[in-house]
Each structure stands twice: as structure tokens, then as C-alpha cells.
A and B are shown apart, each in its own frame.
Chain A
Amino acid sequence: MSFVSENPDFAAPVQSAGARVGPSVASVSDYVALMKPRVMSLVVFTALVGLMIAPGHVHPVIGFTALLCIAVAAGAAGALNMWYDADIDAVMTRTAKRPIPRGRVAPGEALAFGLTLAGFSIAVLGLLVNWVAAVLLAFTVFFYVVVYTMWLKRTTPQNIVIGGAAGAFPPMIGWAAVTGGLSVEPCLLFLVIFFWTPPHFWALSLNRTSEYARARVPMLPVVAGADETRRQILIYSLVLAPIGAAPWLLGYAGAIYGVVAVVAGALMVGLAWRMKNVRDGRAGEHAANQLFAFSILYLFVLFAVLLVTGGPLTQSA
């Protein structure tokens, strides 16, 4: 499998969508939708965990400010993604009702909105919290918008593997907001989300292969086929399980986290194994949906346990 798609069709954006002239009809809820609130909530949650388990103390107001800036920057990245991907969104059922394809928000409005929010959130994080966290936040937005959205998404089936790094940065930003630096522990959290992303998104894309093909997005199932995707999902799940348990194995998290991570990792591998073997018809679709749903629970539970039990750092402090 080549790293970059050799099919030139995948590199060419389809017709631009959402072009509209005249006064804006966008409502506040349209702008909220541009910020991808569901993605934003996951970003805020993982950043909160990074912030809470970091050693040292941060004033609640400063902590809240950091989370607010991270949330707004995530929303800005979402708006810029929707601006650039309006042509793809218009031809996919899952995304056709987004504000730009529906003609509620003009592409230029989304671009201005995204750039303004990104600039404000990064500057405020730098001025009110610290500049290490702000630089990390700026890099995350850049990585998601430029590296993932503008480059990888349309050119390689490894798009969500490399692009997944953007979603893995928030716990590091939360950590940096408290400590002003980075260390091994937030990097472990980064790795957990990084290796969680491929099985999560590929399980989702397996049942939407035709839509991605129609939008000319070279997702792995489109380029390499469903069987190869199932094999890759299993491999990534096998890598994810020990990495998920690594914070406990390396002494950074307690026994409760260890037990939860080992059991959840085993379930993840089990579901990936089942999906690899149950391929056809409704049962195959169901197996992919089950893995997708469980992957969300997996990440949530691991981070929730860290949040509740405290990290290593709060235990030893």
C-alpha cells in the first residue's frame, strides 16, 4: 500500500459547494454547528484530564480559561475544516446538512469566523495562561487544518493515521497549561489517542465506503478494500491495548486504571478480531458499528478513570 494515493482523482477537489452571495442568513446556531460541538466536547474532556493530572496547582479561573481557549480553538479548527471541505461535505450524507453545503453560511464567512476564533483563542491562552500551551495550541490548529484537512485527507489513505495527531494534542496542552512544559505522562496520553484514532475512524468508514468514494476521499476502505481495513484495525487495536495500559505499567497510574485499561483493551481487540472474521451482510455492518461505538466508550472510560482516580502525580504528591 503506497503512502500517497497514486490516483489523481483523489487529489482533485470536487465542485465547490455552498457558494452564496448577498446578505448573510446565518443564525447563531449555524455558527455553533460550524464549531463541531461534539468533537469539541471530546477535545475539552481530554484536555481537562491532562490539566487535572498534571503536577502542581493551577487557579480554577486560569484552568477554566485554558479549557475555554482550547475549546474555542477546536471550534475554530472545525470551522476552517468545514470551509475547506465544503465540496466533500456536500456529497456525503453524513455531512450534507452542515451549514456551508446547506447555504446557510457562506464559505468566506466560515473562513473569517475560523481565523478570528483561532487567533483570539491562541492569543488569550498565551497572555492569560502561558505561551508553551499557546504554541502547542497553535500547532494543533495548524496540524488539523493545513496538514490533515488541506493535505493528507485528499491525498493518502494514511490521512487519519497521521492526522489523528491533531486530536491527540489536547491532553498535552492541558498539561502544559499547568506546568508550563511537557513530560512523559502527557506524551503517553497523546499515544493513547493517536493509536485509538485509526480503529475508531476506519470502523466508521467501513460502512460509508461508497460515500467516501463518491467524495473522492482516499479512505483506507476505498483504496485498499474492506478486508485490508479490517486487518489494519486489528493491528492498531493490538498496538493500542498495551499503550492504553502503559500509564499503569510505567507506574504513572494506579491499579484501578490498570485493571480498566487491560479489560477495555482486551475487549477492543476482541471486537476487532470479531469484525475481521464477520465480514458479510448485516452482521458485518453490525460488527463494525459495535467496534466504533465501543471505541468511543474505551477512550472515555480510560480518561474518566484517570480523572477520577487522579494521575500518578496527584497520588504521589
Chain B
Amino acid sequence: MGKSRSMLVRFMDEKPETIVLTEEQKRSRRARSIAIALALGALVILFYVVTLVKGPAVLNRPL
């Protein structure tokens, strides 16, 4: 009981292993995040403009 308790305490004291990104990886991740944000923003604008263009017909989608 005492042994397992001390093992548990030691496990909780250890820092979890994490991945440390290099500067290059951080830069590319940031650039990718910006690109995704811009793409999503463009998609929102596109849907908004198409809704204005189509008006009520936006709900009419015959196959």
C-alpha cells in the first residue's frame, strides 16, 4: 500500500512529456492558421453575397 502510494506521488510530480515546436514549426503553424482563417472568412463573405444576389430564390435548389 505504502509502495504504490509513493509511486503515485512520484508519477504526479513528473512533468508530462510535451512536444516543443521549433521556431520554424511555430512560424509555419501561424501562417497555416492565418490562411485557414482567411479562407473561412472568404467563405462567409461568399455565402453572404450569394444570399443577397439570389434573394428569396436562395432556397430554391432544383436538381
Which A residues contact B (CB, under 8 angstroms)? Answer: 22-28, 31, 59, 61-62, 65, 68, 120, 124, 126-128, 130-132, 180
Contacts and interface: CB of A to CB of B under 8 A. Distances in A.
Given A22-B19, A27-B28, A128-B47, A59 B35 contact: no
Contacts of A22: 19
Given A26-B32, A131-B63, A59 B53 contact: yes
Interface string B25-51: 100110110010000000100110110
A23 B21 contact: yes
Name the prevailing secondary structure of the A interface residues.
Answer: helix
B31 to A, nearest CB: 5
Contact of B25 (A24, A62, A128, A180): A24
A59 B49 CA distance: 12
Contact of A128 (B28, B29, B50): B50
B15 interface: no
Contacts of A59: 53
B31 A62 contact: no
Interface residues of B, number: 19
B63 A127 contact: no
B46 to A, nearest CB: 6
B3 interface: no
A61 B32 contact: no
B24 interface: yes
B35 A28 contact: yes
Contacts of B61: 126-127, 130-131
B21 A61 contact: no
B32 A28 contact: yes
A27 B31 contact: yes
Interface-centre pick from B19, B28, B49, B54 (highest chain A CB count, 10 A): B28
A31 B39 CA distance: 13
A126 B55 CA distance: 17
Given A28-B35, A132-B63, A65 B25 contact: no
B50 A26 contact: no
Given A130-B61, A131-B61, A24 B49 contact: no
22 contacts: A22-B19, A23-B19, A23-B21, A23-B25, A24-B25, A24-B28, A24-B29, A26-B28, A27-B31, A27-B32, A31-B35, A61-B50, A65-B46, A65-B50, A68-B46, A120-B43, A124-B43, A124-B46, A128-B46, A128-B47, A132-B63, A180-B62
B19 to A, nearest CB: 6
A180 B43 CA distance: 23
Nearest to A22: B19
Contacts of B54: 62
